[in-house]
Amino acid sequence: MHRRTALQLLAAFPALAGLSQKALAAQWDAVLAEAGGQTVYWHAWGGDPKINDFITWVGQKASERYGVTLEHVKLASTADAVARVLAEQAAGQTEGGAVDLIWINGENFAAMKSQGLLFGPFAEDLPNWPLVDVAGKPATVTDFTLPTEGYESPWAMAQLVFEYDTERLKNPPQDIDSILEWSTANPGRLTYPQPPDYLGTTFLKQVLYGVMDDPAVLQSPVDDATYADLTAPLWAYLDRLHPTLWRGAQAFPQNEPALGQLLADGEIDISFAFNPGRASAEIAAGNLPDTVRTFVLTGGTIGNASFVAIPFNAAHRAGAMVIADLLLDPEVQARAQDPAILGFQTVLDLQALAPEDRARFDALELGVATLSPAELGPVLLEPHASWMTRIAQDWTARYGVAQ
Amino acid sequence: MTLLRLAPPLTLGLMAVPVAAGLAGTALPAFGNGGAGFARLLDWPGLPRAAALSIGTGLAATVLSLALTVLILAAFAGTPAFARIRRLIAPLLSVPHAAAALGLAFLIAPSGWIARALSPEVTGWETPPDLLILNDPFGLSLTLGLVAKEVPFLLLMALAALPQVDADRRLTIAATLGYGRIAGFVLTVLPALYRQFRLPTYAVLAYGMTTVDMALILGPTLPPTLSAQITLWMSEGGLARRDMAAAAAILQLGLALCALTLWHCVEIVARHLIRATAFHAPRLPQLDRPATLAAHLGSLAVAGSLILGLAALSLWSVAGPWQFPDALPESLTLRTWDSAAPALAATAGTTLGIALAATATAIALTLACLQAETAEHLVPTSRALTLLYLPLIVPQIAFLPGLQTLALRLGLDGTALAVATIHLTFVLPYVFLSLAGPFRAWDGRIATTAATLGASEGRIFWRLRLPMLAGPVLTAFAVGIAVSIGQYLPTLLIGGGRVETLTTEAVALSSGGNRRLIGAYAVLQLLLPAFAFALATAIPAVLWRNRQQMRGLH
Amino acid sequence: MLELEALRITRDDRLLVDLTLAIRPGQVVTIMGPSGSGKSTALAAITGTLAPAFARTGRIILNGNDISSLPTRLRRVGLMFQEPVLFPHLSVAGNLAFGLPSSVRGRQARQARIAAALASAGLDGLADRDPATLSGGQKARVALLRTLLAEPAALLLDEPFSRLDAALRAQIRQSVFDSARQAGIPTLLVTHDAEDARAAGGPVLSPLGGTLPL
């Protein structure tokens, strides 16, 4: 009986937005009671051992504090989890789904939200939500121009930074045009992950920002009428860049760690990552030489947030919400920002934190290769998700299928 | 007796039903929606190249593997070198495809071990050269990886067949008639031998054309081979993509059937050619020296690339900082193993649990089938033998997507039990092939003698046949364990991402490039079957330490 | 008493065996013929191990019971092959124990029976030996002991002496025939060797029933 009531409460959860703090707290207690003893299957990309270790640590916290068991389902691609939920929907499975929580953003979020595959809204009712820096970091509520509307909860900020080894390269290029010049002068020492990989497509979008006359149109969905004209400079740029790339652009690394490994192996001189603290963390782990430093482009680089979302048919919604809330906990956020652990940027507003929580962040060393918030410069907003899809498709048609 | 009678149909069903159901499950979405999936597939600009790559790498790998196998047999059969090769086969065969591919990648990459060993002294390279070796657009490294993995398999199959065709005496007679080793082998042994390993060759061809894990690691990416692309589409999400993937899977099946038909035609032509050649009786002794040299080089390349690649993997798993062009790491550390120990242990546990369950079931079913064959005087038909090879010849990529949808609808996917069940489908043929020979070759007079002494069928089986076949049973067990541990696509698709084995983890990590962790997973992937094979050798040795005939000393 | 009543065996309509005979307790009857003549086929029919490709008519009667359709293990017909066919994974004692009826109960009683049997054949102290380490003569004796310990009601010999060298051959042959006579077991010998047939001392027939002169 208890179980049924709690489930009914859960079902009503999205409608609670208007309730008082006290009523909310009471509802949250019911969620916690329901979550105790649940096993939450978090489908998250599993290609990076440091992130895997961090998720394991979060699982220990969840177990200690709330009696929630966290299972990390390691994915090769986030789309695996989306496909899974989609298949369950197609099979008519509206309850007891296999996926409880997904690490998600961008086009995957847009696809799931538009097809009604997400549970919610829930994020803005989480107890730790008031700590999120919504005003200072608008990307926490706008995912690739799409308002999140509480259907996903942020847990990390990311920004594109470039990495290089000062032993091999003294003066790295500072903008998109000089990257082309540098690569032409130093053939075979640059590459990017193969689209539709996330980081690879981000590189294409960064190029778009650099070669377009008016990047503001990127905030609107792709318009078929103007798409060809608007993207022509991108393809022209790539046509010139590709012959100078690593392997003559006949092969590409498949993702961010593979690109990082090429830098570590000395196969390329410039790499990049969607994580300003990655280089420091890799140096700390002994995977990169301590002469590696990072830089950003003048005019700024693209930044966004990572989120977690709960599928409409998740078997353990309460447990999933508890994990989403735990990820916003200052202790967890500070650990994620520690360059020795992950080096992810926090989504929280440090001014909103209690002094002892703020002290956790103040105590963090930036790491030898990490730029300070001021040095990181302006954050360029993610273009509308339709750009990512279209550009990746066209890239595949142009460069991905034939010699 | 009646229960035993059920064993053969049950076993064949376990192999045929998943394949048939899966194919139906794939065909439905492929032809559904008025063929929308096929329309989208034909619109994909990468199709001709991906299909050509699939056919090209598959055929090239099969031709090269078969040629090298024949060369090794012809050059070494009956020589001391052959005994050495024989000992290497089982360990090499137990290397999972993914681990072999990862090892090869570590070896031949421009920043790999070979380049490091030769740099900068020989090559002058201070930084890795910008050479397109891995993921080359023509699939050459993929072909090489396939050859390294398939030659041990074909050799094993040939070893079982050689005594059946009385190879030694045929070779002796050819030699006394003045034939060179190579000509003698090709003209007198090969035609009979090939009949015995035609089906294994078909399996090699089908596997080579449709491998996913090796193609993801070694194959081209612009575009990838058709089967790798299907897997990418399957995991990209979106129903449209799934229809397209299903259509491509059906196309892949068609391509495999075409290639098999083509291969069959080539077989017929080759048979006539050999017969016509034999009529003119060319002794060709001058072929022997170059062919023996080629066999030496080829077997060295196969064994070397597997062994060195795996050594490189092991070294990476304990490597501290290791910059190009250092031939060895600056220091050794157990940090990777330490930090990954809990995850490694859990994954190894799951892997081993699934492998043990699938293999134990496969052994029990195989023994029941073979015993039924004896007790009921059943004669295995050639159709049954073909069914045995069905899961090996029908491309996994063609029926597993359909089976996944089916399992999902029945709520069966995503559990270790479901994964163990689908592993059983792939473990059974290998266990059967490995055990059937020794079981059927068992001296029937022992059973007759025992029966005249009053022993029942059951007593003869449990007290005489099974103990005497302990060695082959344990070997089949190790083969089954190795096959199960190596499964990638079935685990990925039927496990729904929730069942993690060493192989799915290693392939998932391979895209990430963390060599230390990949090394650790691959080493475990390797150690488990190696341990099984070691047990299969050690247990009979201890058991029969006082029984000369059981140790093959008589 | 072992009787064959019009035992006819054909394969693909070719008649291989056509025998009607009676063997008294302790008597040795010999079937002689070249290889491929169907001698061993006759033995297979009597032990009940005839392959399905053969067709059999007629009856096999042992001590008054028709055993024609009984399973091998219930026929109580002992068999010795050309080779001793010792179980290679069991010790000498293990081999003998396999033949000893389970009605002999208790570890000690069984061990005592086995030791006594070994002693009677001059094989004292070989109980724990690996059969592969025995000499040819020892192996043949162990095989005979194993057959006799099962207390067969009839004994079939499928050229059991042909692999032994000449000196040993006469000795083993004599002990086999003596044992059979002593135990009063009707014995059927199949051989292509006239010396064996002469030593058996009984009638000599061809597989198709004709009496052969020696």
Task: Give C36-60 pLDDT, tens digit per residue.
Answer: 778 889 999 999 888 888 999 999 9
| Cα–Cα distance measured from residue B363 to residue A298, given in angstroms and rounded to the nearest whole number | 66
Residue B31 lies in a domain: yes
pLDDT band at A402 (very low <50, low <70, confident <90, very high): low
> Kind of pairing, strands C2-11 and A101-104?
unpaired
Nearest by CB to residue C73, choosing from B446, B454, B468, is: B454
Q: What is the mean pLDDT of residues B425-429?
A: 93
Distance from CA of C210 to the nearest CA of B (A): 28
Interface check for B320 against chain C (CB to CB < 8 A): the answer is no
Contacts within 8 Å (CB) and 24+ apart, B75-79 = B75/B181, B75/B182, B75/B288, B75/B291, B75/B292, B75/B294, B75/B295, B75/B296, B76/B295, B77/B162, B77/B167, B77/B168, B77/B171, B77/B185, B77/B189, B78/B168, B78/B171
**What is the crossing angle of helices A224-241 and A198-211, to 10°?**
100
Chain A residues with CB under 8 Å of B242 CB are: 83, 87
- Give the mean pLDDT of chain B: 88
pLDDT band at A2 (very low <50, low <70, confident <90, very high): very low
Is residue B426 located within the same domain as residue B467?
yes
Q: Which two tokens stand for residue B215?
A: 């193609």
Chain A residues with CB under 8 Å of B500 CB are: 74
CATH number at residue B83: 1.10.3720.10
| Cα–Cα distance measured from residue A166 to residue A184, given in angstroms and rounded to the nearest whole number | 20
**What is the three-class DSSP state of B87?**
helix
| Cα–Cα distance measured from residue B94 to residue B529, given in angstroms and rounded to the nearest whole number | 6
Is residue B374 located within the same domain as residue B484?
yes
Is residue B21 located within the same domain as residue B168?
no
Inter-chain residue contact A49 with B517, CB threshold 8 Å: yes
Is residue B17 located within the same domain as residue B121?
no
pLDDT band at A148 (very low <50, low <70, confident <90, very high): very high
pLDDT in tens, A229-257: 999 999 999 999 999 999 999 889 988 88
Q: Which two tokens stand for residue A90?
A: 């197609």
Q: pTM for the whole thing?
A: 0.81
Integer distance in angstroms from the first to the last C-alpha of chain A?
Answer: 64
| Cα–Cα distance measured from residue A81 to residue A87, given in angstroms and rounded to the nearest whole number | 10
Q: What is the mean pLDDT of residues A389-397?
A: 89
| Cα–Cα distance measured from residue B340 to residue C198, given in angstroms and rounded to the nearest whole number | 81
In the structure, do chain A and chain B come into contact, i.e. share 3 or more CB pairs under 8 Å?
Answer: yes
Integer distance in angstroms from the first to the last C-alpha of chain B?
Answer: 35
| Cα–Cα distance measured from residue B14 to residue B398, given in angstroms and rounded to the nearest whole number | 17
Helices (H) and strands (E) in chain C, counts: 6, 9
Residues whose CB is less than 8 angstroms from the CB of residue A314 and which lie 6 or more positions away in sequence, other chains included: A97, A99, A100, A101, A119, A320
Chain B residues with CB under 8 Å of A77 CB are: 235-236
For residues A305 and A328, the answer to whether their CB atoms sit within 8 Å is: no
Please choose, from the candidates B342, B320, B314, the residue with its C-alpha nearest in 3D space to the C-alpha of residue B333: B320
User: DSSP alpha helices (H): ranges in B281-334?
Assistant: 288-317
Chains in contact with chain B (at least 3 beta-carbon pairs closer than 8 A)? A, C
Q: How much is the pLDDT for B321?
A: 81
Distance from CA of B111 to the nearest CA of A (A): 6
For residues C29 and C23, the answer to whether their CB atoms sit within 8 Å is: yes
Please choose, from the candidates A330, A349, A328, A360, the residue with its C-alpha nearest in 3D space to the C-alpha of residue A154: A328
Neighbours of B240 (CB within 10 A): 14
Nearest by CB to residue A73, choosing from B235, B498, B507, is: B498
Which carries the bigger pLDDT value, residue B344 or residue B383? B344
pLDDT band at B238 (very low <50, low <70, confident <90, very high): low
Is residue B327 located within the same domain as residue B342?
no
Number of domains into which chain B is organized: 2
Interface check for A341 against chain B (CB to CB < 8 A): the answer is no
Q: How much is the pLDDT for C59?
A: 94
Residue B270 lies in a domain: no
Is residue B102 located within the same domain as residue B25?
no
Q: Which residues pair with C59 in a beta bridge?
A: C5
Please choose, from the candidates A179, A186, A167, A158, the residue with its C-alpha nearest in 3D space to the C-alpha of residue A292: A167
Inter-chain residue contact B111 with A400, CB threshold 8 Å: no
pLDDT at A7 over 70: no
Q: B509, B510, B516: best mutation site toward chain A, by most A Cβ within 10 Å? A: B509
pLDDT at A301 over 90: yes
- Select from B331, B361, B395 the last residue of a domain: B331
Inter-chain residue contact A82 with B496, CB threshold 8 Å: no
pLDDT in tens, C81-101: 888 899 999 999 999 999 998
- Phi first, then psi, for residue C8 (nearest 5°) are -120, 130
| Cα–Cα distance measured from residue A401 to residue C1, given in angstroms and rounded to the nearest whole number | 87
Inter-chain residue contact B450 with C98, CB threshold 8 Å: yes
Chain B residues with CB under 8 Å of C75 CB are: 452
pLDDT in tens, B351-400: 999 999 999 999 999 999 999 888 877 777 777 777 888 888 888 888 88
> Kind of pairing, strands A301-309 and A292-295?
unpaired
Is residue B154 located within the same domain as residue B12?
no
Neighbours of A1 (CB within 10 A): 5
Is residue B131 located within the same domain as residue B201?
yes
CA dihedral (A374, A375, A376, A377) in degrees, to 10, reads: 70
Phi-psi sector, C99: left (phi>0), alpha (psi -120 to 50), beta: alpha
Residues whose CB is less than 8 angstroms from the CB of residue A224 and which lie 6 or more positions away in sequence, other chains included: none
Inter-chain residue contact B454 with C89, CB threshold 8 Å: no
Residue B249 lies in a domain: no
| Cα–Cα distance measured from residue A326 to residue A333, given in angstroms and rounded to the nearest whole number | 9
pLDDT at A104 over 90: yes
> Kind of pairing, strands A292-295 and C14-23?
unpaired
Chain B residues with CB under 8 Å of A252 CB are: 221-222
Interface check for C51 against chain B (CB to CB < 8 A): the answer is yes
Is residue B119 located within the same domain as residue B169?
yes
Is residue B454 located within the same domain as residue B510?
yes
Distance from CA of C135 to the nearest CA of B (A): 13
Q: How much is the pLDDT for A16?
A: 47
Residue B73 lies in a domain: yes
Q: How much is the pLDDT for A14?
A: 47
The single-letter DSSP state of residue C89 is T
Is residue B4 located within the same domain as residue B141?
no
Q: How much is the pLDDT for B356?
A: 97
Q: Which residues pair with A303 in a beta bridge?
A: A159
Residue B260 lies in a domain: no
Distance from CA of B65 to the nearest CA of A (A): 26
**What is the three-class DSSP state of A223?**
coil
| Cα–Cα distance measured from residue B88 to residue B66, given in angstroms and rounded to the nearest whole number | 18
Q: B113, B131, B338, B498: best mutation site toward chain A, by most A Cβ within 10 Å? A: B498
For residues A210 and A299, the answer to whether their CB atoms sit within 8 Å is: yes
For residues B159 and B92, the answer to whether their CB atoms sit within 8 Å is: no
Q: Which two tokens stand for residue A258?
A: 């593979």
Q: How much is the pLDDT for B53?
A: 94
Least confident segment among A67-81, A179-193, B146-160, B347-361: A67-81
pLDDT band at B237 (very low <50, low <70, confident <90, very high): low
**How many residues appear in chain A?**
403
Sign of the C-alpha dihedral, residues B291, B296, B301, B302?
positive
Instruction: Output the CA angle B145-B499-B239, nearest 5 degrees.
Output: 85
Q: How much is the pLDDT for B236?
A: 65
Inter-chain residue contact B550 with C88, CB threshold 8 Å: yes
Please choose, from the candidates A112, A154, A126, A101, the residue with its C-alpha nearest in 3D space to the C-alpha of residue A17: A126
Q: Which residue of B has its CA nearest to C145?
A: B453
Inter-chain residue contact C78 with B443, CB threshold 8 Å: no
Residue B375 lies in a domain: yes
| Cα–Cα distance measured from residue A391 to residue A397, given in angstroms and rounded to the nearest whole number | 10
| Cα–Cα distance measured from residue A164 to residue C78, given in angstroms and rounded to the nearest whole number | 87
Residue B274 lies in a domain: no
Output b/e per residue, A85-108; b: 16+ Cβ within 10 A: bbbbbeeebeeebbbbbbbbbbbb
Integer distance in angstroms from the first to the last C-alpha of chain C?
Answer: 25
pLDDT at C64 over 70: yes
Residues spanned by the domain of B284:
44-241+279-331
Name the one residue in this structure whose structure tokens are 């709330």.
A66
Q: C49, C87, C156, C158: best mutation site toward chain B, by most B Cβ within 10 Å? A: C87
| Cα–Cα distance measured from residue A30 to residue A22, given in angstroms and rounded to the nearest whole number | 13
Which carries the bigger pLDDT value, residue B497 or residue A63? A63
Is residue B196 located within the same domain as residue B344?
no
Q: Which domains does chain C have, with CATH numbers?
A: 2-76+152-205 (3.40.50.300)
**What is the crossing angle of helices B382-393 and B2-43, to 10°?**
40
| Cα–Cα distance measured from residue A58 to residue A327, given in angstroms and rounded to the nearest whole number | 8
Which carries the bigger pLDDT value, residue A196 or residue C132? C132
User: DSSP alpha helices (H): ranges in A304-349?
Assistant: 317-327, 330-337
Partner B, chain A 184-243, Cβ-Cβ below 8 Å: 187-189, 194, 196
Q: How much is the pLDDT for A19?
A: 55
For residues A75 and A81, the answer to whether their CB atoms sit within 8 Å is: yes
Helices (H) and strands (E) in chain B, counts: 25, 0
Interface check for C81 against chain B (CB to CB < 8 A): the answer is yes
The single-letter DSSP state of residue A215 is G
Q: Which residue of C has its CA nearest to B445?
A: C85
Inter-chain residue contact C132 with B547, CB threshold 8 Å: yes
Please give the full DSSP string across A13-50, using - where no structure is assigned.
GGGGGGS-HHHHHHHHHHHHHHHTT-EEEEEEE---HH
Q: ipTM for the complex?
A: 0.90
pLDDT in tens, C127-175: 999 999 999 889 999 999 999 999 999 999 998 888 888 888 888 899 8
User: DSSP alpha helices (H): ranges in B487-514?
Assistant: 489-494, 502-510
Interface check for A86 against chain B (CB to CB < 8 A): the answer is yes
For residues B281 and B294, the answer to whether their CB atoms sit within 8 Å is: no
pLDDT band at B45 (very low <50, low <70, confident <90, very high): confident
- Select from B289, B305, B331 the last residue of a domain: B331
> Kind of pairing, strands C55-62 and C2-11?
antiparallel
Interface check for A69 against chain B (CB to CB < 8 A): the answer is no
